[in-house]
Amino acid sequence: MTSALNLPGTLVAGFALWAAPKGIGPYIRQHFLDTTFRGLYHVNEFDLALLIPYFVVLILLAGYGAHRYILVYLYYKHSKNRTTEPAQKFKELPRITVQLPIFNEQYVVERLLDSICKLEYPRDKLDIQLLDDSTDETVEVARELVERYVALGHPVTYHHRSNRAGFKAGALAEGMNTAKGEFIAIFDADFTPPEDFLLRTIHFFADPKVGMVQTRWTHINRNYSFLTQVEAILLDGHFVLEHSGRARTGLFFNFNGTAGLWRRKTIEEADGWQHDTLTEDTDLS
């Protein structure tokens, strides 16, 4: 069964919609063509001072939103490029130095050292540096913890600076002077990497073109409160969508300052850690 388009009826309906008292035609005439109040309002400096920042922020937010949509599109478009396992592996594991920069972290430094000392990696190819810039009781706590783990056979060394020149970047740079590893792993004080972290990530460097590996952050206290749930969602969006979307597409993405590994040669060829910026991780990236 087929039906033909009733052209006269369609035209009548369209005209009625246009000419109705509250139709499209009256709306256009009232809002765009009515000149009754033309010239009543004149733009002044106060209005411009409000409107210009408003529209600038509006445009920036719209651009940011569009950027996020693009990243989501790239994430799914290049899903076939997802990285799960390294393409090749080292025949012999290289030496790794783990750097742990801390500052007044007496309440979490024990948990940090405990998790780092549980990392599965040959002890003769692992060095752990506790880079302490603390100015409080953390100094004594950290030193005692290092002595305890050294007595247990763990390759941990304690480094304390009397001045905080360069802050975290300065501590990492100074640690590089005594680091023995070909690769540098970095963890902030509130991180607890899984035991197989190094074994799962180091083999990506078997590709000589890889200079840095950034891993995703997960959360110990995701469900502690509504605030932590919101923060977890934001961080998940950054790591899962933004980082993955960029990496899968072959675009630039940055190191996040912790939970990642660097090829030492890459750091040195990039002139090392610079402390002339608050975002030394992005600067080095």
Domain that holds residue 125: 96-217+256-284
pLDDT at res. 3: 47
Written as six digits, the tokens of 181 are: 């590893």
pLDDT in tens, 50-82: 999 999 999 999 999 999 899 999 999 998 888
Separation of CA 247 from chain center? 12
Written as six digits, the tokens of 71 are: 């990243």
Assigned domain for 224 exists: no
Cα→Cα distances 174→100, 158, 159, 165, Å: 12, 12, 9, 10
C-alpha 166/C-alpha 177 separation (Å) is 15
Q: Count of domains in the chain? A: 1
pLDDT in tens, 87-117: 899 999 999 999 999 999 999 999 999 999 9
Assigned domain for 247 exists: no
Contact 175, 272 (CB under 8 A): no
Assigned domain for 213 exists: yes
Assigned domain for 30 exists: no
Assigned domain for 16 exists: no
Query: Which stretches of the chain score pLDDT less than 70?
Result: 1-23, 278, 285
Which residue type does 275 have? H
Annotated active-site positions, please? 133, 281
> Three-class SS of residue 210?
coil
Assigned domain for 72 exists: no
Closest residue by Cα to residue 101 from 139, 129, 72: 129
C-alpha 92/C-alpha 225 separation (Å) is 45
Residue 157 sits in a domain of what CATH number?
3.90.550.10
C-alpha 205/C-alpha 89 separation (Å) is 8
C-alpha 203/C-alpha 217 separation (Å) is 20
Assigned domain for 107 exists: yes
C-alpha 98/C-alpha 121 separation (Å) is 11
Cut 0.85: pTM above it? no
Assigned domain for 155 exists: yes
Residue 266 burial by Cβ neighbours in a 10 Å radius (0-12, 13-18, 19+): middle
